[in-house]
Amino acid sequence: MASPIKNWETTARRKCLATSPQSRVPPWSNAAGAGPLLEALNLLEVVEPGGTHRRGPCAWDRLLIGAATQLPAKILTIPIAAVKNPNLTLLNKRRSIVTHSSKSMSQKVLTAAVLHEPAGFSSAADRNVSTLFKTPSFCEEYLRLYDSLLSTWPTKPDQLDRETSFGITHINVIGPRDAPALLLLPGFGANSTMWFSNIGSLSQHFRVYAIDTIGQPGRSIPFKSLEASTTAEWLLELMDTLSLGKPSLAGVSLGGWIVLDFSIKHPDRVKGIALLDPAASFAPMSFTFFLHSLIPIMIYPTRNGLTRYFKWLTRGKATNSQWGELMIRGILHCKPRSPVRAAPFTDAQLRLCATPTLLLVGEKSVIYDPAKAVKRAETFMPNVRSEIIADASHGLNYEQADLINSRLVSFFEETR
């Protein structure tokens, strides 16, 4: 059986793709998939005179550690005795831990190759995000649009990355630090930038944590796929990393389903929830919706097909052009991933949800019959307040932004 060190060396050498002779950048620093390896040195603590020094990522340089390897870059050697932790830990592509015993390495040294950040990515985190896309250039274009939408927010948000067993979740945080916490979850194919019409109003009253859901286009990096049975586990881990005891939650479409599922499973961890046209929660997604989604989303997505699909989904309502472009590029240019297969909750599950709930459904929603969905929620949920929003489709949060913002602020102020 090959040693973990040898396996890692093989992985590193596979990244050594040829580049132009004129380039001074190490050949493998631009290789697709190399990003996660660049963060390995974060786990290495080296003892220096006067104390322990933790060597983390720099703005332009990265150090990649190996053992007795020959890498095409300037090599630095560190005696094994200088490593504080007797076990050297490295990260593989899924960022799981591989441990190497120092005993078997007693006669070896660690080697480190100096890398430089390739053009196009502002951070190692963005480089890691690029592995989710079909090409690095697709990722660069997508992140430029993402940042452009984020620049429309009233102030620059704090950008956090929190690690759970499911991956690294990116969160854009905005609002007074001492205000009540409100978590926002986006729909399928979307991310935190989708709240461009709501963030100004909500951030005046709450400390808003807008999440890029693991597995959806955005800045979050999955280690494993989310499933319907595990979304609550992921969200609970995320809340714990943020030290949020009992926040309020709101979600659109798939995000609404995740919020309701979490509230059913962890009622003691949420003050109140708002569900905006939640996917599948109270009724199956309509057959018409399935037929319209089949080719442009599931089988053969194209720009023209997606443009027609989103126009149908929103009943032709005008949307932010940058947002529409971001949605299209996310679906076209991200590598396919297993979707969260949301299904309607049972009568018994809905009865368990005693959390104060606000349900807002678009009058012209095409994902199910709005009246039937609202009736079922009112029949089985003990603490729900519902409303069908006139002249709104599945995109009600931006189509009727002023009304939605007013309803959300009033509801969460009452339940805080």
Q: Please compute the mean of the pLDDT values over residues 173-184 and round it to a whole number.
A: 97
Averaged pLDDT of the chain: 76
**Distance from C-alpha of 318 to C-alpha of 405, rounded to nearest angstrom:** 18
Specify the pLDDT at position 319: 63
| H/E run at residue 84 | none
* Closest by Cα among 36, 37, 41, 62 to 53: 41
Specify the pLDDT at position 88: 32
Express each pLDDT in 132-158 by its tens digit.
899 999 999 999 999 999 999 999 999
Ordered domains of the chain (ranges, CATH): 4-116 (no CATH), 124-415 (3.40.50.1820)
Strand partners, 99: 89
| H/E run at residue 100 | strand 97-101
Q: In the structure encoding, which two tokens stand for residue 323, read together? A: 């947002």
Helix (H, G, I), strand (E, B) or coil at 266: coil
**Distance from C-alpha of 412 to C-alpha of 207, rounded to nearest angstrom:** 12
Q: Please compute the mean of the pLDDT values over residues 263-268 and round it to a whole number.
A: 97
Q: In the structure encoding, which two tokens stand for residue 300, read together? A: 């053969």
Residues 120, 122, 128, 133: is their CA dihedral positive or negative? negative
Which residues of 137-293 form beta strands (DSSP E)?
158-164, 167-174, 181-185, 207-212, 221-222, 248-252, 273-276
Which residues of 203-342 form beta strands (DSSP E)?
207-212, 221-222, 248-252, 273-276
Specify the pLDDT at position 252: 98
Cα dihedral 376/380/381/385 (nearest 10): 40
| H/E run at residue 310 | helix 303-313
Question: What residues are annotated to the active site?
Answer: 394
Give me the helices (H) in 116-175, please.
124-129, 136-150
Specify the pLDDT at position 46: 33
Q: Please compute the mean of the pLDDT values over residues 224-231 and round it to a whole number.
A: 94
Indicate the pLDDT class of residue 318, thresholds 50, 70 and 90.
low
Single-letter residue type at 133: F
**Distance from C-alpha of 119 to C-alpha of 139, rounded to nearest angstrom:** 13
Express each pLDDT in 385-410 by its tens digit.
999 999 999 999 999 999 999 999 99
**Distance from C-alpha of 385 to C-alpha of 269, rounded to nearest angstrom:** 20
Indicate the pLDDT class of residue 125, thresholds 50, 70 and 90.
low
- pTM (2 d.p.): 0.72
The rounded Cα 91 to chain-centroid distance in angstroms is 20
Task: Assess contact for 179 and 205: CB atoms under 8 A.
Answer: yes
User: Which stretch, 19-23, 30-34, 68-72, 334-338, has highest mean pLDDT?
Assistant: 334-338
Single-letter residue type at 313: L
Q: Which residue has the tokens 């390896």?
A: 37
Per-residue CA distances from 394 to 168, 192, 271, 311 (Å): 29, 17, 25, 11
Single-letter residue type at 208: V
